[in-house]
Structure 1
Amino acid sequence: MSNPSEVPQPQQPGAQPPASNVPPAGSEPSQGYQPPPPGYQAPAQAYPPSGQAQPSQGQPYGQPGQSGGFHFEMPTDGPKNFNDVMPSGGFSGMFSVTGLPTELKVSYWIWLIGGLLGVLGGVLGLFGSLVLFTVAPGIAVLVLVLVLVALALGVAQIILAMKMKEGKEWARLALTVVAAISLVLAVINGSMLDQGGSWFGFVISLAATVLMWLPNSQAWFAAAKGRV
Protein backbone atom coordinates (compact mmCIF):
# COMPACT_ATOMS: atom_id res chain seq x y z
CA MET A 1 0.00 0.00 0.00
CA SER A 2 1.36 3.41 -0.91
CA ASN A 3 2.01 6.14 1.59
CA PRO A 4 -0.71 8.84 1.55
CA SER A 5 1.99 11.52 1.36
CA GLU A 6 3.09 9.99 -1.94
CA VAL A 7 -0.31 10.16 -3.52
CA PRO A 8 -0.35 13.06 -5.97
CA GLN A 9 -2.75 15.81 -5.08
CA PRO A 10 -5.56 16.53 -7.50
CA GLN A 11 -4.82 19.39 -9.85
CA GLN A 12 -6.74 22.60 -9.41
CA PRO A 13 -8.97 23.60 -12.31
CA GLY A 14 -7.18 25.88 -14.76
CA ALA A 15 -3.74 25.22 -13.22
CA GLN A 16 -0.86 24.48 -15.55
CA PRO A 17 2.10 22.36 -14.53
CA PRO A 18 5.42 24.14 -14.78
CA ALA A 19 7.51 23.37 -17.85
CA SER A 20 10.40 22.34 -15.59
CA ASN A 21 8.46 19.18 -14.52
CA VAL A 22 8.53 17.74 -18.02
CA PRO A 23 11.22 15.01 -18.05
CA PRO A 24 13.70 14.91 -20.93
CA ALA A 25 13.03 12.49 -23.76
CA GLY A 26 14.14 8.88 -23.04
CA SER A 27 14.28 9.31 -19.25
CA GLU A 28 12.06 7.68 -16.67
CA PRO A 29 9.46 9.97 -15.09
CA SER A 30 10.22 10.83 -11.49
CA GLN A 31 7.95 9.77 -8.68
CA GLY A 32 5.00 12.08 -8.29
CA TYR A 33 5.26 13.41 -11.84
CA GLN A 34 1.91 14.38 -13.34
CA PRO A 35 1.71 14.53 -17.14
CA PRO A 36 0.30 17.78 -18.54
CA PRO A 37 -3.34 17.72 -19.57
CA PRO A 38 -4.20 17.27 -23.25
CA GLY A 39 -3.74 20.42 -25.31
CA TYR A 40 -1.39 22.06 -22.82
CA GLN A 41 1.27 24.34 -24.32
CA ALA A 42 4.19 25.72 -22.42
CA PRO A 43 4.15 29.53 -22.29
CA ALA A 44 6.43 31.08 -24.89
CA GLN A 45 9.23 33.31 -23.66
CA ALA A 46 9.73 36.66 -25.36
CA TYR A 47 13.19 37.07 -26.76
CA PRO A 48 14.51 39.95 -28.87
CA PRO A 49 15.10 39.19 -32.57
CA SER A 50 18.32 37.48 -33.46
CA GLY A 51 21.29 39.84 -33.59
CA GLN A 52 19.69 42.50 -31.37
CA ALA A 53 20.57 43.26 -27.80
CA GLN A 54 17.94 42.96 -25.11
CA PRO A 55 16.59 46.37 -24.08
CA SER A 56 17.86 47.84 -20.85
CA GLN A 57 15.59 48.29 -17.86
CA GLY A 58 13.31 51.29 -18.14
CA GLN A 59 13.69 51.58 -21.94
CA PRO A 60 11.09 50.03 -24.28
CA TYR A 61 12.39 47.56 -26.79
CA GLY A 62 12.81 48.81 -30.33
CA GLN A 63 13.02 52.46 -29.29
CA PRO A 64 16.68 53.31 -28.77
CA GLY A 65 17.35 56.28 -26.58
CA GLN A 66 18.11 59.59 -28.20
CA SER A 67 20.37 62.14 -26.63
CA GLY A 68 18.65 65.11 -28.32
CA GLY A 69 19.89 68.67 -28.26
CA PHE A 70 22.91 70.11 -30.04
CA HIS A 71 25.65 67.65 -30.88
CA PHE A 72 28.92 68.69 -32.56
CA GLU A 73 31.49 66.41 -34.15
CA MET A 74 34.46 67.35 -36.28
CA PRO A 75 33.67 66.46 -39.91
CA THR A 76 35.41 63.42 -41.33
CA ASP A 77 34.53 64.05 -44.97
CA GLY A 78 37.10 66.77 -45.65
CA PRO A 79 38.25 67.34 -49.25
CA LYS A 80 41.32 65.42 -50.36
CA ASN A 81 42.01 67.34 -53.56
CA PHE A 82 40.85 70.35 -55.54
CA ASN A 83 38.13 68.37 -57.30
CA ASP A 84 36.52 67.56 -53.95
CA VAL A 85 36.22 71.29 -53.25
CA MET A 86 34.43 72.18 -56.47
CA PRO A 87 30.68 71.49 -56.73
CA SER A 88 29.75 68.15 -58.30
CA GLY A 89 28.53 68.75 -61.83
CA GLY A 90 29.79 72.35 -61.87
CA PHE A 91 27.56 75.35 -61.20
CA SER A 92 24.65 74.11 -63.33
CA GLY A 93 22.64 73.02 -60.26
CA MET A 94 23.19 76.25 -58.35
CA PHE A 95 19.47 77.05 -58.06
CA SER A 96 18.23 73.52 -57.31
CA VAL A 97 17.34 72.70 -53.69
CA THR A 98 15.54 69.39 -54.19
CA GLY A 99 15.60 67.09 -51.16
CA LEU A 100 16.71 69.69 -48.61
CA PRO A 101 14.70 70.32 -45.43
CA THR A 102 13.16 73.76 -45.05
CA GLU A 103 15.86 74.97 -42.66
CA LEU A 104 18.65 74.14 -45.09
CA LYS A 105 16.75 75.57 -48.05
CA VAL A 106 16.48 78.94 -46.31
CA SER A 107 20.11 78.76 -45.18
CA TYR A 108 21.28 77.82 -48.68
CA TRP A 109 19.46 80.73 -50.32
CA ILE A 110 20.90 83.15 -47.78
CA TRP A 111 24.44 81.94 -48.40
CA LEU A 112 24.02 81.85 -52.17
CA ILE A 113 22.41 85.27 -52.54
CA GLY A 114 24.87 86.76 -50.06
CA GLY A 115 27.77 85.27 -52.01
CA LEU A 116 26.47 86.63 -55.32
CA LEU A 117 25.98 90.07 -53.81
CA GLY A 118 29.45 89.87 -52.28
CA VAL A 119 31.01 89.10 -55.65
CA LEU A 120 29.10 91.95 -57.30
CA GLY A 121 30.02 94.36 -54.52
CA GLY A 122 33.65 93.23 -54.69
CA VAL A 123 33.87 93.97 -58.40
CA LEU A 124 32.35 97.41 -57.91
CA GLY A 125 34.62 98.01 -54.93
CA LEU A 126 37.70 97.31 -57.02
CA PHE A 127 36.84 100.16 -59.35
CA GLY A 128 36.03 102.41 -56.41
CA SER A 129 39.35 101.71 -54.71
CA LEU A 130 41.22 102.56 -57.90
CA VAL A 131 39.50 105.94 -58.01
CA LEU A 132 40.23 106.46 -54.31
CA PHE A 133 43.96 106.07 -54.95
CA THR A 134 43.98 109.46 -56.67
CA VAL A 135 42.50 111.17 -53.59
CA ALA A 136 43.70 109.28 -50.49
CA PRO A 137 46.22 106.53 -51.27
CA GLY A 138 46.54 105.42 -47.64
CA ILE A 139 42.82 104.79 -47.21
CA ALA A 140 42.61 103.33 -50.70
CA VAL A 141 45.06 100.56 -49.79
CA LEU A 142 42.94 99.54 -46.80
CA VAL A 143 39.77 99.67 -48.86
CA LEU A 144 41.37 97.56 -51.58
CA VAL A 145 42.41 94.89 -49.07
CA LEU A 146 38.93 94.74 -47.59
CA VAL A 147 37.37 94.58 -51.05
CA LEU A 148 39.62 91.71 -52.08
CA VAL A 149 38.79 89.81 -48.87
CA ALA A 150 35.07 90.41 -49.42
CA LEU A 151 35.38 89.27 -53.05
CA ALA A 152 37.19 86.07 -52.01
CA LEU A 153 34.60 85.43 -49.30
CA GLY A 154 31.78 85.88 -51.81
CA VAL A 155 33.25 83.30 -54.18
CA ALA A 156 34.04 80.90 -51.32
CA GLN A 157 30.55 81.38 -49.92
CA ILE A 158 28.94 80.29 -53.20
CA ILE A 159 31.13 77.19 -53.52
CA LEU A 160 30.73 76.21 -49.86
CA ALA A 161 26.96 76.66 -50.02
CA MET A 162 26.78 74.28 -52.97
CA LYS A 163 28.95 71.72 -51.17
CA MET A 164 26.79 72.11 -48.06
CA LYS A 165 23.78 71.35 -50.24
CA GLU A 166 25.50 68.08 -51.19
CA GLY A 167 25.58 67.06 -47.52
CA LYS A 168 29.27 67.84 -46.86
CA GLU A 169 29.75 68.55 -43.17
CA TRP A 170 33.13 70.21 -43.74
CA ALA A 171 31.39 72.80 -45.93
CA ARG A 172 28.91 73.53 -43.14
CA LEU A 173 31.78 74.06 -40.71
CA ALA A 174 33.58 76.28 -43.22
CA LEU A 175 30.47 78.42 -43.66
CA THR A 176 30.35 78.82 -39.89
CA VAL A 177 33.93 80.15 -40.06
CA VAL A 178 32.86 82.52 -42.86
CA ALA A 179 30.17 83.90 -40.54
CA ALA A 180 32.84 84.50 -37.89
CA ILE A 181 35.03 86.31 -40.46
CA SER A 182 32.08 88.48 -41.46
CA LEU A 183 31.84 89.52 -37.80
CA VAL A 184 35.48 90.64 -37.85
CA LEU A 185 34.90 92.57 -41.07
CA ALA A 186 31.81 94.20 -39.57
CA VAL A 187 33.83 95.37 -36.57
CA ILE A 188 36.60 96.78 -38.79
CA ASN A 189 34.25 98.48 -41.20
CA GLY A 190 32.13 99.89 -38.37
CA SER A 191 35.05 101.30 -36.40
CA MET A 192 37.30 102.57 -39.21
CA LEU A 193 35.03 103.22 -42.18
CA ASP A 194 31.75 103.85 -40.33
CA GLN A 195 29.77 101.44 -42.49
CA GLY A 196 26.70 99.87 -40.92
CA GLY A 197 25.91 97.59 -43.85
CA SER A 198 28.52 95.07 -42.71
CA TRP A 199 26.60 94.50 -39.46
CA PHE A 200 23.48 93.72 -41.42
CA GLY A 201 25.44 91.21 -43.50
CA PHE A 202 26.77 89.57 -40.33
CA VAL A 203 23.27 89.22 -38.83
CA ILE A 204 22.06 87.54 -42.02
CA SER A 205 25.08 85.19 -42.00
CA LEU A 206 24.45 84.38 -38.34
CA ALA A 207 20.85 83.44 -39.11
CA ALA A 208 21.99 81.17 -41.96
CA THR A 209 24.54 79.54 -39.65
CA VAL A 210 21.98 78.83 -36.94
CA LEU A 211 19.66 77.22 -39.48
CA MET A 212 22.44 74.82 -40.52
CA TRP A 213 22.87 73.53 -36.96
CA LEU A 214 19.22 73.01 -36.01
CA PRO A 215 18.23 69.41 -35.08
CA ASN A 216 16.35 68.82 -38.33
CA SER A 217 19.37 69.97 -40.34
CA GLN A 218 21.71 67.78 -38.31
CA ALA A 219 19.49 64.77 -38.91
CA TRP A 220 19.62 65.45 -42.66
CA PHE A 221 23.43 65.66 -42.62
CA ALA A 222 23.62 62.38 -40.66
CA ALA A 223 21.37 60.69 -43.21
CA ALA A 224 23.42 62.12 -46.08
CA LYS A 225 26.59 60.74 -44.50
CA GLY A 226 24.99 57.28 -44.33
CA ARG A 227 24.17 57.40 -48.03
CA VAL A 228 27.77 58.08 -49.04
Structure 2
Amino acid sequence: MSGTTRSGRPTTVTVSFIIWLIVVLANIISGIVVLVAGGGGAAAANAVGTGPVVAGAIISFIIAIVELIIVFKMRDGRNWARIVLLVLAILQVLNVGVGAASGSNAFGWIGGIAVIVATILMFVGGANAYFRRR
Protein backbone atom coordinates (compact mmCIF):
# COMPACT_ATOMS: atom_id res chain seq x y z
CA MET A 1 0.00 0.00 0.00
CA SER A 2 2.87 2.38 -0.52
CA GLY A 3 1.69 3.35 -3.99
CA THR A 4 0.73 6.79 -5.12
CA THR A 5 -2.42 8.05 -6.79
CA ARG A 6 -2.44 10.35 -9.82
CA SER A 7 -2.63 13.34 -7.50
CA GLY A 8 0.70 12.40 -5.91
CA ARG A 9 -1.10 11.36 -2.74
CA PRO A 10 0.07 8.06 -1.21
CA THR A 11 -2.50 5.29 -1.25
CA THR A 12 -2.30 5.03 2.54
CA VAL A 13 -3.47 8.65 2.85
CA THR A 14 -6.32 8.03 0.40
CA VAL A 15 -7.48 4.94 2.31
CA SER A 16 -7.20 6.83 5.59
CA PHE A 17 -9.30 9.63 4.08
CA ILE A 18 -12.02 7.18 3.05
CA ILE A 19 -12.08 5.53 6.48
CA TRP A 20 -12.30 8.94 8.18
CA LEU A 21 -15.20 9.88 5.90
CA ILE A 22 -17.05 6.70 6.82
CA VAL A 23 -16.45 7.31 10.54
CA VAL A 24 -17.68 10.91 10.35
CA LEU A 25 -20.76 9.90 8.34
CA ALA A 26 -21.48 7.14 10.87
CA ASN A 27 -21.26 9.74 13.66
CA ILE A 28 -23.72 11.97 11.77
CA ILE A 29 -26.14 9.07 11.36
CA SER A 30 -25.74 8.21 15.04
CA GLY A 31 -26.60 11.82 15.92
CA ILE A 32 -29.70 11.65 13.75
CA VAL A 33 -30.79 8.42 15.43
CA VAL A 34 -30.34 9.96 18.88
CA LEU A 35 -32.27 13.05 17.79
CA VAL A 36 -35.14 11.01 16.33
CA ALA A 37 -35.20 8.55 19.24
CA GLY A 38 -35.30 11.42 21.72
CA GLY A 39 -32.28 10.34 23.72
CA GLY A 40 -33.64 7.14 25.17
CA GLY A 41 -37.36 7.20 24.68
CA ALA A 42 -40.38 9.09 25.91
CA ALA A 43 -39.64 8.58 29.61
CA ALA A 44 -36.21 10.22 29.33
CA ALA A 45 -37.60 13.04 27.18
CA ASN A 46 -40.35 13.73 29.73
CA ALA A 47 -37.90 13.67 32.64
CA VAL A 48 -35.42 16.23 31.28
CA GLY A 49 -37.20 17.70 28.28
CA THR A 50 -36.11 17.60 24.66
CA GLY A 51 -33.86 20.68 24.89
CA PRO A 52 -30.70 18.85 25.96
CA VAL A 53 -31.23 16.17 23.31
CA VAL A 54 -31.67 18.73 20.54
CA ALA A 55 -28.72 20.80 21.81
CA GLY A 56 -26.53 17.69 21.92
CA ALA A 57 -27.53 16.74 18.38
CA ILE A 58 -26.80 20.25 17.07
CA ILE A 59 -23.38 20.26 18.75
CA SER A 60 -22.67 16.81 17.29
CA PHE A 61 -23.54 18.05 13.79
CA ILE A 62 -21.30 21.11 14.17
CA ILE A 63 -18.42 18.93 15.36
CA ALA A 64 -19.00 16.54 12.44
CA ILE A 65 -18.89 19.41 9.93
CA VAL A 66 -15.64 20.72 11.42
CA GLU A 67 -14.25 17.18 11.42
CA LEU A 68 -15.20 16.79 7.74
CA ILE A 69 -13.31 19.97 6.89
CA ILE A 70 -10.26 18.70 8.78
CA VAL A 71 -10.45 15.31 7.01
CA PHE A 72 -10.44 17.04 3.61
CA LYS A 73 -7.48 19.20 4.68
CA MET A 74 -5.63 16.04 5.73
CA ARG A 75 -6.30 14.55 2.31
CA ASP A 76 -4.81 17.68 0.76
CA GLY A 77 -1.60 17.17 2.73
CA ARG A 78 -1.94 19.61 5.61
CA ASN A 79 0.15 18.30 8.49
CA TRP A 80 -1.78 20.32 11.09
CA ALA A 81 -4.94 18.45 10.03
CA ARG A 82 -3.17 15.13 10.46
CA ILE A 83 -2.17 16.12 14.00
CA VAL A 84 -5.71 17.30 14.85
CA LEU A 85 -7.10 13.98 13.58
CA LEU A 86 -4.55 12.13 15.69
CA VAL A 87 -5.79 13.99 18.79
CA LEU A 88 -9.43 13.31 17.82
CA ALA A 89 -8.59 9.63 17.30
CA ILE A 90 -7.03 9.41 20.76
CA LEU A 91 -10.09 11.03 22.29
CA GLN A 92 -12.44 8.72 20.40
CA VAL A 93 -10.51 5.60 21.40
CA LEU A 94 -10.52 6.75 25.03
CA ASN A 95 -14.28 7.32 24.74
CA VAL A 96 -14.74 3.80 23.37
CA GLY A 97 -12.70 2.43 26.28
CA VAL A 98 -14.85 4.29 28.80
CA GLY A 99 -17.99 3.13 26.97
CA ALA A 100 -16.77 -0.46 27.08
CA ALA A 101 -16.64 -0.29 30.86
CA SER A 102 -20.28 0.80 30.87
CA GLY A 103 -21.47 -1.74 28.28
CA SER A 104 -20.88 0.03 24.95
CA ASN A 105 -22.26 -1.49 21.76
CA ALA A 106 -20.34 -3.12 18.93
CA PHE A 107 -20.60 -0.02 16.72
CA GLY A 108 -18.44 1.90 19.18
CA TRP A 109 -15.78 -0.78 18.96
CA ILE A 110 -15.93 -0.92 15.17
CA GLY A 111 -15.64 2.86 14.99
CA GLY A 112 -12.72 2.81 17.41
CA ILE A 113 -10.87 0.19 15.38
CA ALA A 114 -11.58 2.11 12.15
CA VAL A 115 -10.17 5.30 13.68
CA ILE A 116 -7.04 3.45 14.83
CA VAL A 117 -6.50 2.03 11.32
CA ALA A 118 -7.13 5.42 9.67
CA THR A 119 -4.71 7.10 12.05
CA ILE A 120 -1.95 4.55 11.47
CA LEU A 121 -2.39 4.90 7.70
CA MET A 122 -1.76 8.67 8.00
CA PHE A 123 1.75 7.91 9.30
CA VAL A 124 2.98 4.94 7.21
CA GLY A 125 4.14 4.40 3.66
CA GLY A 126 4.86 7.61 1.83
CA ALA A 127 2.54 9.62 4.09
CA ASN A 128 5.27 11.35 6.08
CA ALA A 129 7.02 12.58 2.94
CA TYR A 130 3.66 13.67 1.48
CA PHE A 131 2.86 15.81 4.51
CA ARG A 132 6.39 17.27 4.59
CA ARG A 133 6.10 18.40 0.94
CA ARG A 134 2.92 20.36 1.56
Corresponding residue number in structure 2 for 1:159? 69
Corresponding residue number in structure 1 for 2:94? 184
Structure having the higher helix fraction is 2
Residues 48-82 of structure 1 show CA distances to partners (whole Å, capped at 9, x for unaligned) of xxxxxxxxxxxxxxxxxxxxxxxxxxxxxxxxxxx
Structure 1 stretches lacking a partner, 5+ long: 1-96
Matching of residues 138-217 of structure 1 within 5 Å: 144=53, 150-217=60-127
Distance 2:49 2:7 in 1: 44
TM-score by length of structure 1 reads: 0.47
Distance 1:195 1:185 in 2: 12
- Offset at residue 215 of structure 1 (A): 4.5
Distance 1:147 1:108 in 2: 24
Instruction: Classify the secondary structure of the residue corresponding to 1:136.
Output: helix
Answering whether residue 51 of structure 2 is matched by residue 135 of structure 1, we say no
Distance 1:140 1:199 in 2: 30
Matching of residues 58-69 of structure 1 within 5 Å: none
Residues 31-59 of structure 1 show CA distances to partners (whole Å, capped at 9, x for unaligned) of xxxxxxxxxxxxxxxxxxxxxxxxxxxxx
If asked which structure has higher relative contact order (CA below 8 Å, sep 6+), I would say 2
Answering whether residue 16 of structure 2 is matched by residue 107 of structure 1, we say yes
CA distance 1:205–1:130, shift in 2 (3 Å): closer
Q: Assess if the C-alpha contact under 8 Å between 2:92 and 2:112 holds in 1.
A: yes
- CA RMSD across the alignment: 2.9
Structure 1 residue ranges, 4+ long, deviating more than 6 angstroms after superposition? 138-141
Distance 2:104 2:119 in 1: 25
CA distance 1:147–1:201, shift in 2 (3 Å): farther
Larger Rg: 1
Distance 2:13 2:128 in 1: 10
Matching of residues 34-113 of structure 1 within 5 Å: 98-113=7-22
Distance 2:94 2:58 in 1: 15
Instruction: Classify the secondary structure of the residue corresponding to 1:214.
Output: coil
Residues 132-169 of structure 1 show CA distances to partners (whole Å, capped at 9, x for unaligned) of 2x21357999x948766654443333111101112111
- Offset at residue 208 of structure 1 (A): 0.5
